[in-house]
Chains A and B, each alone.
Chain A
């Protein structure tokens, strides 16, 4: 819950160790969504309401900032690519990324940065299998 990760991975010794990580990153890996409930229930029992109000407000503001994540469909597909683990699914999202670039080019906008990004993602996808084998 504090965003600290301990890992023991016999197949990947370079990843084994003690890693302080950001809270969200840690949760994305371990999916602690439901575990927040006992945590906040106990917190609500222990803390005075003034402190709870201040903490709730601060957390709400941080959450609101976090919601501003995807400003474009391109960022959305890139995020999905990063979230997915399976090469074939990644390939699908790369295709969506390419379609988005084509749409952007049809509108006459410069898509140089996006093309470079798509190239990198395709390269990584294919290197890790890409469902092409």
Chain B
């Protein structure tokens, strides 16, 4: 619970349901997910918490690695200079100090993966939909981010 941050769906709604004795059935779970639960982010935080505890540098290094992975995906889709600019930008590069940015890091990773799978086409389209679902599970605006990246890839990526 320590790394939930501003995930209002978990903090407020879910706990309120529990306190009121409301059983969490598939329908209410779906509603809870749709209203903004971040299952993928929560899972990532839990894994790091189990493996490394609350050691600050581990969280920072992991965020930096996630950012590097995102830059690698940008490199694959758009080439060297966009990836270099994205990696070095003060907004993105400085964000590894911001622990709760992990939701955005994961959301962007899955949105980029979704665009990559879309480029590959064929049976990879199913993986693209799955990655879109994961982006949504990382953060509520993941679907919009993925659609934006699809559009960017369609306009500017030679792989699409």
Contacts and interface: CB of A to CB of B under 8 A. Distances in A.
Contacts of B94: 24, 62-63, 66-67
Instruction: Tell me what chain B mostly uses at the interface: helix, strand, loop, or mixed.
Output: helix
Contacts of B111: 34
A39 B49 CA distance: 34
Contact of A45 (B8, B86, B105, B156): B156
A35 B148 contact: yes
B5 A84 contact: yes
Could you say which interface size class chain A belongs to? 35 or more
Contact of B79 (A44, A69, A93): A44
A76 B56 CA distance: 7
Nearest to A92: B2
A41 B91 contact: no
Contacts of B85: 40, 43-44, 52, 55-56, 59
A5 interface: no
Contacts of A85: 5-6
Contacts of B54: 96
Given A33-B108, A89-B11, A67 B96 contact: yes
B152 to A, nearest CB: 5
B5 A83 contact: yes
A63 B149 contact: no
B67 to A, nearest CB: 9
Contact of B78 (A41, A59, A88): A41
B90 A24 contact: yes
A37 interface: yes
A91 B87 CA distance: 34
Interface string A37-81: 110111111000100100111011011101101100100100110
14 contacts: A23-B91, A31-B139, A36-B86, A36-B92, A37-B82, A37-B108, A43-B82, A43-B85, A44-B81, A59-B93, A63-B92, A66-B93, A76-B56, A89-B1
Given A38-B149, A40-B85, A56-B81, 19 more contacts: A24-B90, A31-B141, A33-B91, A33-B92, A34-B148, A36-B92, A37-B78, A37-B86, A37-B112, A41-B156, A44-B81, A60-B88, A67-B94, A70-B97, A83-B99, A84-B100, A85-B5, A89-B2, A93-B2
